Amino acid sequence: MKKRANRVFGRRDFLKQAACLVPLVLSVDALAAGPFPTKTVTIICPYQPGGLTDITSRRLAERLSAMWGQPVIVDNRPGAGGNLGAGMVARAVPDGHTLLITSYEALMISSAAKLNLGFDPIVDLAPVALIGDVELWFLAPAKAPYNNMREFVEYGKKNPGKINMGSIGIGSAHHLGLLQINSVTGASIEHVPYKGVSMVQDLVAGNIDAAFSSRLSTAGMVSEGKLKILGVAGNRRSTLYPDVPTFADSGLASVVVPYAQAVFVSAKTPSDIIARLNEDIRKVLQEPAVKEKFASEGVVVGTLSPADFNARIRKELVIVEQVIATNNLKFE
């Protein structure tokens, strides 16, 4: 009898504790089912107005505002290579009302380099949605003696130390791409880092031998015959110039130069809010007018879930970490 009494007591005790948890479960369900957003949403753009990220931010702000019936504003916060704005979002109230739209490769590089930022861009920010992969061209002056990536690499191998590539800075995705090209091919192409906007002008003038640039930034110069495309980074051919080989076509399939626009929030943001943001952003990206506009700028809109996007970032982060460690890069 005593043994039976203990069993009854245990069951009653369990039911009592379970009853106490019911209000907590209901409160979580109520939060998940609640309306969102409930106030103005701020998109932090960590770069100057007028660039690709700013244009992307304003395009999404307009469409999301119409969808949500709430104001969506863009706040440009340039500085520290995009990390100033990223830090603001990492430290923001984690309720989904403060978003970061940025080129996510900058976050990976900052995290892999272990920069002293007061936050970790990968740990303290949660991926929400991939807006789209940006078509990235490898360009040369129109009069250059090479016309594609294979010829460029061969020219570099035959002329070690006499050919160079400009980039937007030491440790940038462009610089890391060059280091991978040298490693894979055995070429010795020199790096010329830039901090201003003169790189493309110098490329046109023939002061540097090659450079990466987005289609949006240089399509006009290519059509005018001032520059020529040697290759397209990645494995997707250009819709504007489908005859130009990709890196994968050119024996550079292992060279990863991520260049994409994406949305992030504070890592403490509830998963249901992240899922809602992902769903709504993907709906906007699939609107025919929005999708067509991005395509005209060389951006293939994203369709990844938060989990799939996070997996992609983690995979590419390993490559970035390896390139930085192998080349013992020191960041300014």
Distance CA 202, CA 226 (A): 11
Question: Residue-wise pLDDT tens for the chain (332 aa)?
Answer: 444 444 444 444 434 444 444 444 444 444 444 689 999 999 999 999 988 899 999 999 999 999 999 999 999 999 988 999 999 999 999 999 999 999 999 999 999 999 999 999 999 999 999 999 999 999 999 999 999 999 999 999 999 889 999 998 888 999 999 999 999 999 999 999 997 557 999 999 999 999 999 998 899 999 999 999 999 999 999 989 999 999 999 999 999 998 999 999 999 999 999 999 999 999 999 999 999 999 998 999 999 999 999 999 999 999 999 999 999 998 86
Please report which helix (H) or strand (E) contains residue 132, including its range.
strand 125-134
Taking a C-beta distance cutoff of 8 angstroms, is the pair 306, 278 a contact? Answer: yes
Q: Scanning the structure block, which residue is given the tokens 């007061």? A: 118
Asked whether the CA dihedral 221, 54, 310, 33 is positive or negative, the reply is negative
Gap between the Cα atoms of 139 and 232, Å rounded = 9
Identify the CA nearest to 179 among candidates 326, 331, 330, 332: 326
